[in-house]
Structure 1
Amino acid sequence: MDLSSTPRLSEQLREKIEENIVTGTFCPGVRLDEVDLAETYGVSRTPIREALIQLEAAGFINKRLRKGWEVASIPASRLCEMFDVMAELEAMCGRLAARRATEAETRQIRSAHLACLKAKEASDPAEYYRLNEAFHLAIYEASHNSFLIEQASTLHRRLRPYRRLQLRVRNRMHTSFDEHEGIVKAIENGMGDLACDMLRAHVVVQGERFTDLVSSLESMTSSRMAVEA
């Protein structure tokens, strides 16, 4: 069996390419060649193509006729707007989860939160993000609103690399874990308005802090492109 064609590998490759885009290694307008990427990561073209299709669906790259794939331009102001919307969607999920979550779903949210502890103590942002994502998705599911779950999940995927990278900011994992604790308690106690407010603040802080980082990265990218020109 060719492991290079497994979905898990394509997801790993998508994350690697996402991070290169976010950090400016792959600048807006840069062409992404399947053959070059396959050689860089030591895999066949199949998982690379699957990863690129996923990235196009998420809006990170565009398919150009007869020109292959090209990195899309995402201004910091656009990211800030997306985080604003994400904050409101998550706030709604929190309010509804506090009202509608079953006992089993509440336990799942608590369990997902506690699972983040080991990664936090190990200062492992990648693992923390993976577990953090499960925590947020558990809250979405507990809202019992299928349309809201769909919209929140879609935007969550779109912002995945930005939410993952901001965890590298000093002390952010510890702050995030503490914020999660308050959110869990609010949901457990059926305090919908509090859960709503805490989730909104939790995501808006992410957006504001990371927008500052993205602005710096854009400046660095512009300077590098000017030097290369």
Structure 2
Amino acid sequence: MARVADQLIETLRNDIRSGVLRPGDQLEEAALAERFGVSRTPVREAVRSLVDSGLLETKPRKGALVRVLSAKELIDLFEVAAELEGMACRLAAERLTADKAAALEDALHFCRTAAEANDQDGYAKANLAFHQAIHNAAGNNRLIEQIEQLAGHINPYRAMPFQMRGRLQKSTEEHASIAEAILKNTGTQADELMRDHMMLQGQRLPMILEAIEPR
């Protein structure tokens, strides 16, 4: 039973990180049990675990929902994420190999393609892949673990600014500047560009959160 619950936890956590489940979405036990072909017992266990980790919350008469963070919580998280992502850029610039450089350029290409097509869903995936390419190039497993832990909380919100007019193109320009700094092995500049990139995104989120209607 525990193994089934662990699998559910990992799947639901990935759904939240990737944006398949969005802040405020309700998780119904019966629907989850049917989706995964299991009884409600491991579903309840998985939900309790995700509530304890802060990814879900429970409300009277609504059950479990993907937790909607406050503006203050989001800014706090993005401040920490900006520092960690900046550090990843600095390390990536110092440790860049030919294959990691190629992976970074490929990820940037996917961002450009999605932005040109104004494909918000495609850009959200390309955006995460771009950041992941930097994390891989940094070559620090402990750092990656910390970033992934934060990602579970902030990733559901990262795509929200992409709805703003011109944001896909602006984000791609910021990515291009970051990638250029890394490829030129200028780690300090890459660090600063990434921190600015992350915090500009974080500062837009409170406005977007205000537009989320109570569910």
CA distance in 1: counterparts of 2:208 and 2:100, whole angstroms: 35
Q: TM-score, normalised by structure 1?
A: 0.74
| Number of residue pairs the alignment of both structures matches | 203
Verify: 1:171 aligned to 2:171, yes or no.
Answer: no
In the alignment, is the contact (CA less than 8 A) between 1:10 and 1:47 conserved in 2?
Answer: no
Q: 1:25: Cα distance to partner?
A: 5.5
1:34 match: 29
Q: What is the alpha-carbon distance in structure 2 between the residues aligned to residue 168 and residue 104 of structure 1?
A: 33
Please report the TM-score for the alignment, with normalisation by the length of structure 2: 0.79
Q: Does 1:133 align with 2:132?
A: no
3-state SS of paired residue (1:43): helix
Q: Which runs of 4+ in 1 moved over 3 A?
A: 5-17, 42-58, 67-73
| Structure 2 equivalent of residue 29 of structure 1 | none
Structure 1 position 202 matched with structure 2 position 197: yes
Which ranges in structure 2 are unaligned for 5 or more consecutive residues?
1-6
Percentage of pairs with the same residue: 32
- Where does 1:6-155 land on structure 2 (aligned, <5 Å)? 14=16, 18-19=21-22, 22=23, 24=24, 26=26, 32-35=27-30, 37-38=31-32, 43-44=35-36, 46=38, 49=43, 52=47, 56=51, 59-62=54-57, 69=64, 72=67, 74-155=69-150
1:11–1:127 CA distance, 2 compared to 1 (3 A): farther
For residues 215 and 149 of structure 1, do their structure 2 counterparts lie closer, same or farther at Cα, with a shift above 3 Å needed? same
User: In structure 1, what residue type is equivalent to 2:21?
Assistant: E
One-letter identity of the residue aligned with 1:104: D
Call closer, same or farther: CA 1:194–1:167 in 2, change over 3 Å: same
The higher-RCO structure (CA 8 Å, 6+ apart) is 2
Mapped contact 2:8–2:46 kept (Cα < 8 A): no
Following superposition, the deviation at residue 144 of structure 1 comes to 1.6
Q: Which residue of 2 aligns with 1:192?
A: 187
Give yes or no for contact 2:9–2:49 (8 Å, CA) kept in 1.
no
Letter in 2 for 1:119: A
Q: Unmatched 5+ residue regions in structure 1?
A: 27-31, 225-229
Residue 150 of structure 1 deviates from its aligned partner by 1.0
CA distance in 1: counterparts of 2:15 and 2:65, whole angstroms? 16
Whole-angstrom CA distance in 1 between matches of 2:49 and 2:117? 30
